[in-house]
């Protein structure tokens, strides 16, 4: 069997570089972040509150696996203030149940990476709990992103995601409002109730359901991002598609723009504040040519249903090559979308911070 190696795939960023390490059942998971300026004070309590939004809870839509997920910082801080060198934080994996996963190398779960990892790593992957492909790895993503959210907030930039739809039930309201304090992060509590009911129904059926998350980045200066392959769309896409289950991404009008005309789609410029311009509409989602125009940056990510379901599924026994039936043991989220909302905020924060740190000093006072 051909042996493949891991590329630098678990690192991302040019000016802010984040590396995610760990497996679902390794000693720890964690992240290393390089590039954050020295002198930034991290609010640890605030960070932990942010991480709690991602953590599994005692509710109807998430796995009963419980872990405190409080990060330990190993480096990069002097006290709680960044000292300019690589910051590493880890979360110990304490509540592992390896026994649950003994079958995964033999009979791959549909919709999961078991089979593709088996091929890629020649059978040497750490299969327990999905290994490095586990949704649990979004916890270190949220450590990095949560710190960046604080960093951006100090710059006047706020990032606000909400559930835009679950199973086709749409949210309603103004995407610029924050739902960070809500247990179920929708703008409309009425619509949220409908979504909860749908999720509860799917759980009862041993099934799962997908959804869409919308994210607004507010307070961005104009001029952020780069042409061609490092536009804000490219940067955000590169990270957001790293969140398990994301299968689609659109900016501004996105796919709806494909059905429109230019006369409708072009956002007219009008005079704004401080000599900058604004646009009358925001079909572009705040991005022109990959670069922010000062309007809210708006994007939506589509998440497929959690592939772990409590039903019998068809697969193949890799040892015999014969068809096999699979009942996936373990703990499942009937809908990952609510817990993915802070992950989307974290991903956006990393992309925006990376772009922001790419702004260089004025050179010699010229220009």
> Within positions 238 to 297, which residues make up the interface with a copy of itself, using CB under 8 A?
238-239, 241-242, 244, 246-255, 257-271, 275-277, 279-280, 283-285, 288-293
The total of other beta-carbon atoms located within 10 Å of residue 222's CB is: 16
Of the candidates 338, 153, 133, 327, the one whose C-alpha atom is nearest the C-alpha of residue 242 is 133
Ranges within 20-49 binding a copy of itself (CB under 8 A): 20-23, 26-30, 32, 34-40
Binding segment for a copy of itself among 13-21, 44-52, 174-182, 338-346 (CB under 8 A)? 13-21
Q: How far is the CB of 43 from a copy of itself (least distance, A)?
A: 15
Q: Which of 46, 115, 219, 330 binds a copy of itself (CB under 8 A)?
A: 115
The H-or-E segment that residue 82 falls in is strand 81-82
Of the candidates 244, 238, 264, the one whose C-alpha atom is nearest the C-alpha of residue 252 is 264
Output b/e per residue, 79-90; b: 16+ Cβ within 10 A: eeebeeeebbbb
Binding segment for a copy of itself among 42-50, 53-61, 152-160, 179-187 (CB under 8 A)? 152-160
Q: Does 125 bind a copy of itself (CB under 8 A)?
A: yes
Binding segment for a copy of itself among 45-53, 62-70, 181-189, 200-208 (CB under 8 A)? 200-208
**46 or 241: whose CB is closer to a copy of itself?**
241
Q: How far is the CB of 8 from a copy of itself (least distance, A)?
A: 5
CA 60 from centroid of its chain's CA atoms: 21
The total of other beta-carbon atoms located within 10 Å of residue 362's CB is: 8
Binding track, positions 303-322, relative to a copy of itself; x by CB under 8 A: xxxxxxx-x-xxxx-x--xx
Count of residues binding a copy of itself (CB under 8 A)?
169
Ranges within 327-366 binding a copy of itself (CB under 8 A): 357-364, 366
Q: How far is the CB of 218 from a copy of itself (least distance, A)?
A: 16
Binding segment for a copy of itself among 51-59, 63-71, 166-174, 180-188 (CB under 8 A)? 166-174
CA angle 156, 159, 161 (to 5 degrees): 160
Of the candidates 177, 201, 200, 197, the one whose C-alpha atom is nearest the C-alpha of residue 187 is 177
DSSP for 21-41, written as a single string: EE-TTSSEEEEEEE-PPTTPB
Q: Does 226 bind a copy of itself (CB under 8 A)?
A: yes
Q: How far is CA 25 from CA 63, 72, 331, 340, in A?
A: 16, 17, 14, 21
Binding segment for a copy of itself among 49-57, 119-127, 174-182, 189-197 (CB under 8 A)? 119-127
Ranges within 89-108 binding a copy of itself (CB under 8 A): 90, 108
Of the candidates 334, 341, 272, 268, the one whose C-alpha atom is nearest the C-alpha of residue 306 is 334
Phi and psi angles of residue 17, each rounded to the nearest 5 degrees, phi first: -110, 125
């Amino acid at each position: 069997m051909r042996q493949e190696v891991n590329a630098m795939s678990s690192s991302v960023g040019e000016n802010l570089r984040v590396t995610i390490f760990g497996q679902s059942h390794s000693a720890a998971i964690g992240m290393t972040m390089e590039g954050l300026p020295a002198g930034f004070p991290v609010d640890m309590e605030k960070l932990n509150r942010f991480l709690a939004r991602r953590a599994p809870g005692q509710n109807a839509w998430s796995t009963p696996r419980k872990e405190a997920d409080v990060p330990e910082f190993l480096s990069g801080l002097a006290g709680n203030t960044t000292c300019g060198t690589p910051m590493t934080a880890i979360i110990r994996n304490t509540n592992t149940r390896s026994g649950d996963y003994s079958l995964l190398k033999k009979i791959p779960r549909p919709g999961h990476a078991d089979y593709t990892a088996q091929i890629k790593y020649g059978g040497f992957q750490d299969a327990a709990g999905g290994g490095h492909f586990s949704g649990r790895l979004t916890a270190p993503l949220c450590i990095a992103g949560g710190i960046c959210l604080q960093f951006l907030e100090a710059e006047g930039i706020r990032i606000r995601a909400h559930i835009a739809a679950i199973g086709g039930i749409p949210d309603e309201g103004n995407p610029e409002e924050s739902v960070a304090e809500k247990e179920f992060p929708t703008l409309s509590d009425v619509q949220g109730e409908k979504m909860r009911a749908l999720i509860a129904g799917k759980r009862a059926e041993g099934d799962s359901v997908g959804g869409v998350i919308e994210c607004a980045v507010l307070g961005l200066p104009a001029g952020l991002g780069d042409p061609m392959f490092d536009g804000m769309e490219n940067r955000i896409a590169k990270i957001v598609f790293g969140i398990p289950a994301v299968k689609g991404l659109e900016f501004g009008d996105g796919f709806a723009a494909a059905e429109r005309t230019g006369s409708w789609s072009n956002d007219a410029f009008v005079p704004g504040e401080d000599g900058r311009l604004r646009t009358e509409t925001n079909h572009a989602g705040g991005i022109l040519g990959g670069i922010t125009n000062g309007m809210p940056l708006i994007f939506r990510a589509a998440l497929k249903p959690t592939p772990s379901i409590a039903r019998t599924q068809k697969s193949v026994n890799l040892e015999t090559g014969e068809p096999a039936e699979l009942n996936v043991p373990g703990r499942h989220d009937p809908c990952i979308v609510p817990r993915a909302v802070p992950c989307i905020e974290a991903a956006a924060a990393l992309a925006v911070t990376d772009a922001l740190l790419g702004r260089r000093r004025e050179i010699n006072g010229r220009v």
